[in-house]
Amino acid sequence: MKNSTQLIVNALLVVAVAVLFYLHFASGKPAKPAPASAPIAAAPADTTAAEPEEPEVPLTPAALADTNKVAYVETNRLLEEYQGMKDASKRLEAKARGWEAQNKKLVTSFQAAVQQYQQKAEGMSAEQRATTEQQLQAQQMKVGQEQERLQGQAQQEQAKLNDQVMGRVNKQIEKYGKANGYRLILATGAGNIAYGRKDLDITTPVLKYLNKEYAGKK
């Protein structure tokens, strides 16, 4: 009897720790985007050096003219320093704290029910003990299902955050590339660039452009 109830508690705690572990990382740094999400402005061409600091110019026929300008941005740095991602991560962290609180309430309630059973088990008949253990097992299953729901909700929110932020970033980088006459803007950090000269790195001016655009539309 004691072994069966201990197994119930141990099984639930394993699930609880797994969920809390996921929620902790779901509220941390954003996940790296897949290579398909890398911002690209146009088709490949020659790698002529570009100045790191590009002027922000309006879309004009001259700016849109065909050129050999190629550059790249550091994806990880963009996501860490882009204010839009910072704000979205804060919103996700707030939700994660709510999910963690729900999970803690579920575990605490189950543990209390097990402790109450252990305290009263000696005075119960065999039939009462069997009935109570079945009830505890049913409660454990219900808690596990709720924890799975919370984990699925966390995964969906994380994916939604990435899609929204990367969609906005890609759109703005495309505008930036056209405005500054780039044929191609690549993204590092997704395993698609093994080497790039530092003078082709336009992460700093692109970040400035993205944050300025985001601040104007908040």
Whole-structure pTM value: 0.62
Taking residues 50-64, report their average pLDDT: 47
Are 177 and 185 in contact by the 8 Å Cβ rule? The answer is: yes
> Across the chain, how many H-helices and E-strands are there?
5, 2
Residue 5 CB neighbour total at 10 angstroms = 19
Q: Which of 150, 159, 16 is nearest to 96 (CA)?
A: 150
Residues across the chain? 218
| Residue that wins the pLDDT comparison between 146 and 19 | 146
Alpha carbon dihedral 41, 68, 205, 87, in 10-degree steps, equals: 10
pLDDT confidence bin for 191, thresholds 50/70/90: low
**What H or E segment, with its residue span, contains residue 185?**
strand 182-188
Taking residues 140-162, report their average pLDDT: 91
pLDDT confidence bin for 196, thresholds 50/70/90: confident
The fraction of the chain above a pLDDT of 90, given in percent, is 53
d(CA 167, CA 3): 53
